[in-house]
Amino acid sequence: MRKYFLDNIRWMSILLLIPFHTCMIYNNFGENFYVKSDGIPLLTGFIQITSPWFMPILFVIAGMSSCYALTKRSPKEYIDERKSKLLIPLISGILVLVPIQTFYAEKFHNGYSGGYFHQYILFLTKINDLTGYTGGLTPAHLWFILYLYVISLISLPIIIRYRKSNKKIPIDKFSLVKILPMFIIFLIMKLVLDISGKSLGEYFALFMLGYFILSEDRVQEKLEKNRWMLFIALILLTALNLIFHNVLKCSYGTIYDIFEGFLSWIGILAILGMGKHYLNFTNGITSYFTKASFPFYVFHQSFVVLVGYYALKNISSISVQVVTIIGGSFLLTILAYEILKRISVTRFLFGIKK
């Protein structure tokens, strides 16, 4: 049976990216963005509440989904699917969509007044820290797809070897008490290939935890049974995290890294537990966004930056700016999806399901 709660958590998390990236325009913790306004504490708080868990849970769900996919597909079929679903949309997105973001970044930060296609040369040749926040080459938000493609390939030999081995993980012996300390695994792996603050090792570990541990029905049943305890723990840890950031001004160092790793893991476990109990259903809306979620991810940030550029230039009220950016970029993303899903070439280029 299809686990609808995973589909629903995935598309809800992806939709969350529009307000998240809108809030990034107004962050007050010193990180730049393609277009940037003064920091707003309330909007920064939204980032601090959601950032510990919402990208990690997407890698965990990807690992869980790969476990289910490999029960129906051969390794070769799995690799072919990864190419069509991840690699081709990644290349298409970097060449077609990401330059929109760096075009407005050049205009906003550097006073660029040239044309879009001349800026394309800057996009391909300008060396920067790979964020592209002030223009230049970047995968932008598509780093997630890049990482997921690489992780899918390097994890496959491990998965195949495990399947052939007689030694199996003793899932039956995994109580919640034994599951909780597993955050140490991705915390240690965070030291591996950390590129611009995004660790390939950390996300590989989360993917593998999703594949080997959280994909198991018995583990999911434990999370569902303890969902409220995990959810309350998430709320308390999130409140403590806000205190660390905004009151104590202490959001760095080894102790904080351990705390944040634990918060991230509790967030993942709580959301999976609550999701299994309350989100395991399908209807017209959930079915629509399940299909739209991947192209929605690919398209959304270019529209956030585009609408954000004009909103900051032409609207004085912060609240109206925020509503305009969130609402405008959501509508443009849905419109792009509705148009491009009807064209076979763009369906192929951006990994859109029929």
At 223 the pLDDT is: 96
Mean pLDDT, the chain cut into blocks of 10 residues (354 residues total): 91 96 93 94 95 95 93 90 94 95 94 89 84 90 96 94 85 88 93 86 96 93 96 97 87 86 96 96 95 95 97 96 97 96 94 86
DSSP structure class, residue 333: H
pTM for the whole structure: 0.94
Q: Give residue 184's pLDDT.
A: 94
Task: Kindly give, in sequence order, each residue whose CB lies less than 8 Å from that of residue 351, ignoring residues fewer than 6 positions away.
Answer: 84, 85, 86, 88, 89, 294, 295, 298
Q: Among residues 8, 66, 77, 3, which one has the least CA distance to residue 212?
A: 66
Under 8 Å between Cβ of 275 and 3: no
Give the integer Cα–Cα distance in Å for 21 and 19: 6
> What local confidence, expressed as pLDDT, does residue 304 receive?
97
Q: For residue 354, what pLDDT is reported?
A: 76
Query: Of 133, 97, 130, 132, nearest to 116 (Cα)?
Result: 97
Q: Extract the tokens encoding 267.
A: 């967030």
Which pLDDT belongs to residue 61? Answer: 96
CB 234 within 8 A of CB 270: yes
